[in-house]
Amino acid sequence: MSELTSKDLTFSYANRLILDRISLEMRAGEVVVLLGANGAGKTTLLQSLCRQLRLASGSVSVADRDITLFTRRALAQNIAFMPQQENRQSELTVHDVVSLGRTPHCGWWMPLSAHDREVIEDSLKATGLMEYQQRRITQLSGGEWRRMILARALAQDAPILLLDEPTAGLDLKYQFDVLDRVRRMAKERNLVVVITLHDLNHAAMFGDRLALLSERSLIAIGSAREVLTPSLIRRAFDVSVTVIDHPVHGTPFVVPLYPAGSTGKSVRDD
Partner 1 sequence: MVLLLALAIVSLISGAVSISVFGVLQWVVGLEAASLTETERTILMQLRLPRVITACLVGGSLGIAGVGFQGLFRNPLADPYVIGASSGAGLGVTLAVVLGLQGSVMGLSGIAMSAVVGSLLAVAVVFAIGSVGRGSSVLTLLLAGVAVSSMINAMASLLMYMNDDSVVVILAWLMGSLAGNDWSVVLATAVSSLVGFSILWSMSRPMDVFLLGDVTSQSLGLDLFRFRILLVAGSSIATAAAVASAGVIGFVGLIAPHIARRVVGPRHLQLLPMSACVGAAIMLVADVVARTVVAPAELPVGILTALLGCPFFLFLLKSRNEAHAGAV
Would you tell me which residues interact with partner 1 (CB under 8 A)? 47, 50-52, 54, 71-77, 79-81, 83, 86-87, 89-92, 96-97, 100-101, 103-104, 106-109, 136, 138-139, 156
Q: Residue 225 and residue 198: Cα distance in Å, rounded?
A: 17
- Residue 232 contacts residue 219 (beta carbons within 8 Å): yes
Nearest CB to partner 1, comparing residues 51 and 202? 51
CB of 245 to partner 1, least distance (A): 39
Q: Residue 48 and residue 54: Cα distance in Å, rounded?
A: 7
CB of 81 to partner 1, least distance (A): 4
Nearest CB to partner 1, comparing residues 86 and 118? 86
Nearest CB to partner 1, comparing residues 103 and 190? 103
Nearest CB to partner 1, comparing residues 89 and 263? 89
> How big is the CA angle at 199 (ends 166 and 37), to the nearest 5 degrees?
95
CB of 3 to partner 1, least distance (A): 19
> Exposed (0-12), middle (13-18) or buried (19+): which is 141, by Cβ within 10 Å?
exposed
- Residue 164 CA, distance from chain mean position: 4
> Exposed (0-12), middle (13-18) or buried (19+): which is 204, by Cβ within 10 Å?
buried
CB of 109 to partner 1, least distance (A): 6
CB of 4 to partner 1, least distance (A): 14
Nearest CB to partner 1, comparing residues 75 and 203? 75
Q: Residue 100 and residue 140: Cα distance in Å, rounded?
A: 18
Give the DSSP letter string of 230-260.
HHHHHHHH---EEEEE-TTT-SEEEEE-PPT
